[in-house]
Amino acid sequence: MTTLRAGWIITQRDLAHWVRQPWGPIFGLLFSIMLLLVFGFLFGGAIQVPGGGDYIAFLLPGMLALSMMFGVEATATAMGADARKGITDRFRSMPIGNAAVALGRVGADMTTSAAELSVLLAGGLLIGWRITSDPGPAALAVLLLLLLRFAVLWIGIFLGLTFRGDGATAAVQVLVWPIGFLSTAIVSAETMPGWLGALASWNPLSATATATRDLFGNPSGVTGGILADHALLMAFLWPLVITAVFMPLSARAYRRLRT
């Protein structure tokens, strides 16, 4: 039994959840679409994009990045629930590789997020958002979004294994909001007070949002500063740094179940 095969079987288990209980993912999607509509049409009229450009065109890549980051919640919740209900212990008592449980989570969450991304992209096209660049850069943008999802997946696995109580899930659900909003996902950092804007520019989410805008040929709302020069590089580096930190931490948390 290879670890990869076991991981794939655990992934299939999660995908089978979709078929049995489609409402969870559907509500997740509806929520993202609702956010898109609220910001795009309710608040959007009052928002100016620095450097010019249509707000919907600015907003959509930001919402895509935001929904990738919010995925941390789903990962941590699923991981914590399995640990709490003894399913993780059952997996651990079976002759499968140590990495299989995490691999299964990665497979399931990446598939879910890719599907979510497709629906949001289609939704964006429906409300008038357009890709104005070439297919190459556009594909790279999608790749960067999935890279961010991959990185926060490891944060979610770490949190889910470390804090197994329901309270921890609630904490993650609350904390993603300030972290999500303190970025350039919804408004440009240049409209914020100086220090706050600087902070937001260093948010990994901002790097992905800005790089994605550039690659889709959408207005970036950036006229200067670190994001103007290095958004693409940062959109690669941040997820790699997060992964490099949280993948070993997750492995350690899994080993610590043995204590």
Q: Which CB sits closer to another protein, 6 or 157? A: 6
**Are the CB atoms for 224 and 197 separated by under 8 Å?**
no
Any contact of residue 4 with another protein (CB under 8 A)?
A: no
- Selected from 42, 45, 93, 135, the binder of another protein by CB under 8 A is 93
Site for another protein in 94-123 (CB under 8 A): 94-96, 100
CA 201, CA 198: separation in Å to the nearest integer? 5
Q: Which CB sits closer to another protein, 90 or 240? A: 90
**Are the CB atoms for 201 and 226 separated by under 8 Å?**
yes
- Selected from 1, 34, 139, 174, the binder of another protein by CB under 8 A is 1
**Are the CB atoms for 159 and 70 separated by under 8 Å?**
no
248 token code pair: 């070993």
Q: Which helix (H) or strand (E) holds 248?
A: helix 226-256
Please give the size of the binding site for another protein, defined by CB under 8 A.
25
x/- track of binding to another protein for residues 5-44 (CB under 8 A): -x--xx-xx--xx--xx-----------------------
Nearest in space to 154 (alpha carbons), one of 236, 76, 83: 76
* Residue ranges in contact with another protein by CB under 8 A: 1, 6, 9-10, 12-13, 16-17, 20-21, 85-87, 89-96, 100, 257-259
